[in-house]
Amino acid sequence: MKSLREVDPKVYGIIKKEEKRQENNLELIASENFTSSAVLEAQGSCLTNKYAEGYSGRRWYDGCEFMDDIETLAIKRAKKIFGGEHVNVQPHSGSQANMAVYFAALDVGDRILALDLACGGHLTHGHRHNFSGRLYDVACYGLDNKTEMIDYDEVLKLARSHKPKMILAGASAYSRKIDFKKFRKIADEVGAYLFVDMAHVAGLVVAGLYPSPVPYAEFVTSTTHKTLRGPRSGFIICKNKFAKRIDMQVFPGIQGGPLMHVVAAKAVAFKEACSAAFKKYQHQVVKNAKTLADNLEKKGLRIVSGGTDTHLFLVDLQNRNISGADAAICLDRADITVNKNLIPFDSTSATITSGIRLGTAAITTRGMKEKEMEKIAEFIDCVLSSYGDDKICNRIKREVLKLTNKFPLHNK
Ligand code: DSN
């Protein structure tokens, strides 16, 4: 068989460039990580050739005996690490997992109550341009303006007045622990379903560093590629009484044939997540996030909510007179990759923003620890304080390269 390089040198060349970018840059985007070679191998396997619409033992096409094996294994492993009564591992992404939950539990026009995107929520939790905001009547809760944390009394008040059919918990840019037990109580009081999207924190949940939503929510969804460090994909955990509805919504409701090579890669990631090394890694991720946040604070940068309990946090740049968009661009020039992010009560737009979001899952996979976090805080502070100074930016870029060279990325 001919190699990719021989068949398509253009695509090969682009992939190689991206490989080098990942190798040389400091990856601080909170939703990204580096999978193991085993996950990549499963994802690049011949399983991509097979159609397997349906579920184990109930497929539309023949020749699915090994697809049944792989899907059953993935489900068994997901249940082992997260618990839960029923698991569907077919969603291609977090967005599709969320869509399946909405379709299984709600009718078009039903009301949901979710964290405002501007306060750290997610696009699929009711943004007006997303299917969730277009199909459902969305009410939002925000954050307390002093603590910048969820105010559960306020959520209860809003739940009582809006009477949603579903309450959503989970976020894309919220650095604090969420009290799922309290959310359950609120949902029970108003007779709503509780749906938790744990995409960002799934790896921390496995390690026992973040409360598990599984005992409390009717529906839990997650992606598999953030702290969980698997392939880019999603899955759903639900109570048994919703199993049939969830499965029907994933297939044939939303998707056709599952991506069985990705299901296999999810199975591998779930196995890796069972190891002691994975737990140790998650502990280091959280330690690194705290250390990075503390060191940036020492440099005079304000950390939203005063810190973090997780792998991520937001930096408020208002006292530096630089927008999140400009900060992300100048950091990228120094090979430090972050994303601009709205901070709570931001007065700018989502394309400008007053903050950046930083996460430590990817750099911790490379083996970086507290000492490196101190250095990275220095790099960030230096680039932000000398905004527009190419000389300093290039110096930091060289420093970044020295650091990333010390922690090679061999797809561990
Ligand atoms: N885009 C992801 C994130 O950055 O949080 C969520 O889908």
* % of the chain exceeding 70 in pLDDT: 100
For residues 226-252, one letter each, b for 16 or more C-beta atoms within 10 angstroms of the residue's C-beta and e for the rest, the string is bbbbbbbbbbbbbbeebbebbbebbbe
* % of the chain exceeding 90 in pLDDT: 98
Residue 359 to residue 357: CA distance in whole angstroms: 7
Q: Which of 96, 117, 122 to mutate to test the pocket of ligand 1 (most atoms within 8 A of CB)?
A: 122
- Work out whether the CA dihedral 196, 32, 299, 346 comes out positive or negative: negative
What residues are annotated to the active site? Answer: 51, 53, 197, 223, 226, 232
Which is nearest to 74 in space by CA: 240, 204, 345, 263?
A: 263
Query: Given this model, what pLDDT does residue 330 score?
Result: 96
The answer to whether 144 and 150 are in contact (CB under 8 A) is yes
Query: Given this model, what pLDDT does residue 388 score?
Result: 85
How far is ligand 1, taken at its centre, from the CA of residue 120, in Å? 10
Question: Is residue 48 helix, strand or coil?
Answer: helix
Query: Given this model, what pLDDT does residue 148 score?
Result: 98
Tokens of 185: 């109580």
pLDDT at 250 over 70: yes
Residue 29: band (very low, low, confident or very high) from pLDDT cuts 50, 70, 90: very high
User: For the chain, where do the domains classified as CATH 3.90.1150.10 start and end?
Assistant: 276-406
Query: For all residues of the chain together, what is the average pLDDT?
Result: 97
Residue 129 to residue 134: CA distance in whole angstroms: 7
Nearest CA to ligand 1 atom 1: 31
The answer to whether 258 and 71 are in contact (CB under 8 A) is yes
Nearest CA to ligand 1 atom 2: 31
Nearest CA to ligand 1 atom 4: 31
pLDDT in tens, 380-394: 999 999 988 999 999
Residue 263 to residue 73: CA distance in whole angstroms: 10
Residue 210: band (very low, low, confident or very high) from pLDDT cuts 50, 70, 90: very high
pLDDT in tens, 228-241: 999 999 999 999 99
pLDDT in tens, 341-359: 999 999 999 999 999 999 9
Question: What number is the average pLDDT over the span 125-133?
Answer: 97
Residue 255: band (very low, low, confident or very high) from pLDDT cuts 50, 70, 90: very high
What is the homologous superfamily of the domain 276-406 according to CATH? Answer: Aspartate Aminotransferase, domain 1 (3.90.1150.10)
Residue 214 to residue 83: CA distance in whole angstroms: 7
Query: Given this model, what pLDDT does residue 1 score?
Result: 86
Of ligand 1's listed atoms, the one at least distance from the Cα of 173 is: 5
pLDDT at 412 over 70: no
Q: Which of 200, 221, 338, 341 to mutate to test the pocket of ligand 1 (most atoms within 8 A of CB)?
A: 200
End-to-end CA distance of the chain: 27
Query: Given this model, what pLDDT does residue 28 score?
Result: 98
Query: Given this model, what pLDDT does residue 128 score?
Result: 95
Query: Given this model, what pLDDT does residue 410 score?
Result: 73
Tokens of 341: 């992010």
Nearest CA to ligand 1 atom 3: 31
Query: Given this model, what pLDDT does residue 289 score?
Result: 99
pLDDT in tens, 131-184: 999 999 999 999 999 999 999 999 999 999 999 999 999 999 999 999 999 999
pLDDT in tens, 258-289: 999 999 999 999 999 999 999 999 999 999 99
Which stretch of DSSP H or E encloses residue 168? strand 166-169
User: For the chain, where do the domains classified as CATH 3.40.640.10 start and end?
Assistant: 40-273
**Residues whose beta carbon lies within 6 Å of some atom of ligand 1:** 31, 94, 122, 172
How far is ligand 1, taken at its centre, from the CA of residue 60, in Å? 33
Query: Given this model, what pLDDT does residue 192 score?
Result: 98
How far is ligand 1, taken at its centre, from the CA of residue 127, in Å? 14
Return the DSSP state at 256.
Answer: S
Residue 116 to residue 263: CA distance in whole angstroms: 32
How far is ligand 1, taken at its centre, from the CA of residue 125, in Å? 12
The answer to whether 169 and 115 are in contact (CB under 8 A) is yes
How far is ligand 1, taken at its centre, from the CA of residue 31, in Å? 5
The answer to whether 290 and 359 are in contact (CB under 8 A) is no
Query: Given this model, what pLDDT does residue 141 score?
Result: 98
The answer to whether 130 and 123 are in contact (CB under 8 A) is yes
Nearest CA to ligand 1 atom 6: 172
Q: Which CATH number fits domain 40-273: 3.40.640.10, 3.50.50.60, 3.90.280.10, 3.90.1300.10?
A: 3.40.640.10
In sequence order, the 6+-apart residues with CB closer than 8 A to the CB of 1 are none
Of ligand 1's listed atoms, the one at least distance from the Cα of 30 is: 4
